[in-house]
Chains A and B, each alone.
Chain A
């Protein structure tokens, strides 16, 4: 899908307006704090149904108001369709052609959207939970049943931890089995994903960075047993005394480690800030390429000020190696050399919440 227009109503700091798009590449220019990222967030909300910046959805509504909505026309194989995201007194609704979407996974499967942001560096050098989150997110983009396995596993672990605190051995016998079964599903899918993902990731990193390094994601599962529920179950049981002592589940996919390795060494541990930024960009680019490949759908890309972090050569290579996409939204600061990317066509200026189009 590609958006042909977006109508904004009481959303963040943006003025109520309707913006029409004719291009595949959309350029938004403005100083920091004017509303560029808010606009990208609007596009993301329409594609994914949740924000990439906050879980607190009341922040999406303009200060002093009680409702907001985003309405967009998009073309779906030549047919113009309508999608709406609306928050009204804490109630969220998403409609496609006036039909309410009940399950957000329906949306994910139809409108893949990848956001590149500054915060992505946390996936590289932040806590391990974030790397697991990135992997989970990537799997969820094309495999909806993974979300179910993960939810089940997380619920089992929550219940199991409570049973550990209460020292209920009789219940632990059951939870161990449920954890082994649902956790193994999560682990197997992570193994498969990372294996497939690595070929895209290593290739893109080598070509975008220009370094002669074979960087890949290494998965070290917490359960280092044979991949059968019996083997995992006996491993969990062997560790039960320790779990009892710590009053929490000390093994399982919620403790898996994921790292960036080159030639057997933990590359991210010694990488420079610039290199870490680059890894995070390649991660997202790989996610976009991978999702496009898996789903057969071209994604919408949102690139929030990220080009600015690279030297000119890398920028060029990065843009060259982006996967095929339906539409891309780029944000720039006013003094960036935009002419490197665009010679003609419309530009969108974002100033104090007002978005206005102009020709170069």
Chain B
């Protein structure tokens, strides 16, 4: 039977197990949206294409499935770039379909034409322009395969209008996807595993450093097994939060610029660092020359380019975190772990001293503190919600004061640091888990970067909770200006005056509340959590609160500004 490209696309999506698409229609994708009406696919219409990509990204992070986006050509396509780059930096599997002008018009500066394949070359894992409908099914299958396997990431497929309207005889290709230049390594090299085990057994002051890769490869259980078996403390990057329970006695919390005192001290003093699925970002290492200066480093990562990119690594192991942790656990069976545990005793004593010396805290002076709000959210959700954050102080306070217990419960833009990410990401997570509590912890700056999505929440009756820590400032920038620019506040005040977020919520048919007094916080959160609809709470928090500890950019991580 002869069918058009648009129908082939739908068939391919069905075969990939896609149930939900985030998108925005337009001229170049009219055929696709028309064809979508003949399927069971759920389309979440957003109000800006950037939000479609963030939503697909949040859907992917929360569920582990691949997020899918369909947008039109030109501006529809270019609006996806920030979302794609966000996903690229954090290795999130999404497939973005963009419309394109008909092939004879490509290169002619046609209406709504943009060279999106050229534009996204450096922010996708791979991208395709489909020039012949005969290639469509192969390319779609490759796109999903590439997005999900190896180090995951976004893949973009550009679909010219004539390609998706052309009819051909179609038979779905059943054979396995084969891409000649793409063979990720999954199993760790046995010699390297042995070397790693030898280093572990010789160590006296070991630390495990878990990154987002642990979550992406679903290796959390193996990580916990390893940490407990070795009785070794675990610190996490921002992307790694949730990979190991934040309330576990072995957890040191987050490492780096706004990491805990104990994590930064422990890594600096360690003699062994086992980095798992982390890439040693500059926000983690601080001054590279003084990062873990006495430690041998074991680095487990699926992407060979991550290894020895920023820090020198003694034992690199390329492969899938989950498989390699399994291999290490197996190799440890022949070792005398009791001896190791005895050796580690003084180390644990030291760590306990660091933990007690500077706990995460804030000045309690009767005003409404953002950290207090997050503590209450943690308490009232029992740490069992999906939390999205925006970027800035709201993100760091969440990372510090919400003790993530499970993987895939924190959605945050770690690598790119995209303000405006959290709200649409929360929408995506809520679509994936309609019955779970999904909260976007926002700042008043970030929330205004994708505020139009209140309409999406309203249209699709999504019970997303939007908690704004409203300090009337671009708080993180203000904090840097306070500390490093002599309190010269350049373009950071948002108090002209701050928008009435309650009225704004109401304009979108959503319940809005404003809280100014700490004693009203608990009741408001309880009310929001028990409401089966979207709720926005504008927490008017202290204006000039800072995030501490803080390591100034480029300083050694054991030189922290403390509260």
- A and B: bona fide binding partners: no
CB within 8 Å of B: which residues of A?
none
